[in-house]
């Protein structure tokens, strides 16, 4: 079964959501605050696959997310017929829930943080019962000290909890550049630990002055990212449920929206059509 493909829904891409290349939608929970019906976010378009993406579970923090937050998230998922829920492998606030940073920080890649993260994800999965949960690898610039690598930490989380991997292809690319590792190796080593997979694709830019790649969601997706995506699809063959393109700034015109999602689908179709070597 090929992955469902679509956009992280924004006001700016609603006009193209009925494009035949699109059969999936991702709703950001924190933006789904004005009523609980799918049509508020997606118009009258029917999707094969809807996922609700949360920003504030702070799963790599010391404590599980508040029950109230999970309950509101479940309401949005139910009202929109969502097949899945996701959030990030990072933390956004202090242990008391009193101070929020407004962005994700990567945890220290340590055994202690791994244990806390797995306990939090177990709580979330218990709460959502049989609705699959996916954890997204984040792009980070600052790295806390820890005895594990990011790859070991992420693989450990996926293995211990059995949750899905929301593989943000661009974040792997960004971290590879900014922290000096091979994004292809990272994906091939982590993928076996993932029970199921969603993907994010986005375009950022390399800031020459600062000397790092910025995951800005503001640029067209480049060939480097498309190639890594193609590789990730092959690595995750048979377990990729959905692919979502994220764009949050410098929005393209209608043709631009349509061509990028078309390209994401063309690559899937190109791989599906390749001859099966095992059958020869």
What does the per-residue mask of binding to Fe ion show for 141-170, with x meaning CB under 5 A?
Answer: ---------------------------x--
Task: Provide, rounded to whole angstroms, the least separation between the CB of residue 246 and Fe ion.
Answer: 5
- Greatest Cα pair distance in the chain: 61
217 lies in the binding site for Fe ion (CB under 5 A):
no
Q: Contacts with Fe ion in 65-124 (CB under 5 A)?
A: none
Between 18 and 264, name the residue whose CB sits nearer to Fe ion. Answer: 264
Query: Least distance in Å: CB of 262 to Fe ion?
Result: 20
Spatial distance between the Cα atoms of 15 and 42, rounded to a whole number of angstroms: 9
d(CA 164, CA 152): 16
Which residues from 172-201 bind Fe ion, rule CB under 5 A?
A: 200
Q: Please say which residue, 150 or 168, places its beta carbon nearer to Fe ion.
A: 168
Number of residues engaging Fe ion in binding (CB under 5 A): 2
Minimum separation from the CB atom of position 136 to Fe ion (A): 6
- Count, in order, helices (H) and strands (E) of the chain: 8, 12
Q: How far is the CB of 110 from Fe ion (least distance, A)?
A: 24
Q: Which of 94, 64, 85, 259 is nearest to 164 (CA)?
A: 85
Q: How far apart are CA 190 and CA 43, in angstroms?
A: 37
Query: Burial, 62: exposed, middle or buried (Cβ in 10 Å; 0-12, 13-18, 19+)?
Result: middle
Using the minimum distance from each CB to Fe ion, give the nearer residue, 98 or 102.
102
By CB under 5 A, name the binding residues for Fe ion: 168, 200
């Amino acid at each position: 079964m090929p992955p469902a493909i679509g956009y992280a829904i924004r006001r700016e891409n609603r006009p193209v959501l009925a494009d035949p290349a699109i059969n999936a939608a991702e709703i950001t929970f924190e933006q789904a605050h004005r009523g609980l019906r799918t049509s508020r976010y997606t118009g009258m378009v029917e999707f094969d696959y809807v996922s609700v993406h949360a920003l504030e579970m702070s799963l790599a923090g010391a404590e599980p997310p508040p029950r109230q937050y999970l309950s509101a998230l479940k309401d949005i998922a139910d009202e929109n017929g969502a097949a899945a829920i996701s959030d990030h492998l990072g933390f956004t606030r202090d242990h008391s829930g009193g101070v929020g940073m407004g962005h994700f920080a990567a945890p220290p890649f340590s055994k202690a943080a791994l244990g806390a993260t797995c306990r939090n994800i177990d709580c979330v999965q218990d709460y959502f019962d049989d609705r699959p949960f996916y954890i997204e690898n984040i792009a980070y610039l600052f790295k806390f000290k820890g005895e594990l690598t990011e790859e070991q930490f992420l693989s450990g989380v996926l293995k211990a909890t059995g949750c899905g991997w929301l593989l943000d292809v661009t974040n792997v690319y960004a971290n590879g550049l900014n922290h000096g590792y091979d994004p292809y190796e990272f994906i091939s080593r982590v993928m076996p630990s993932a029970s199921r997979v969603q993907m994010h694709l986005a375009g950022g830019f390399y800031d020459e002055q600062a000397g790092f790649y910025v995951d800005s969601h503001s640029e067209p997706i480049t060939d480097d990212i498309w190639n890594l995506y193609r590789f990730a699809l092959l690595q995750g063959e048979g377990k990729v449920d959905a692919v979502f393109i994220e764009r949050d700034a410098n929005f393209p015109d209608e043709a631009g929206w349509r061509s990028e999602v078309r390209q994401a689908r063309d690559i899937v179709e190109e791989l599906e059509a390749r001859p099966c070597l095992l059958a020869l």
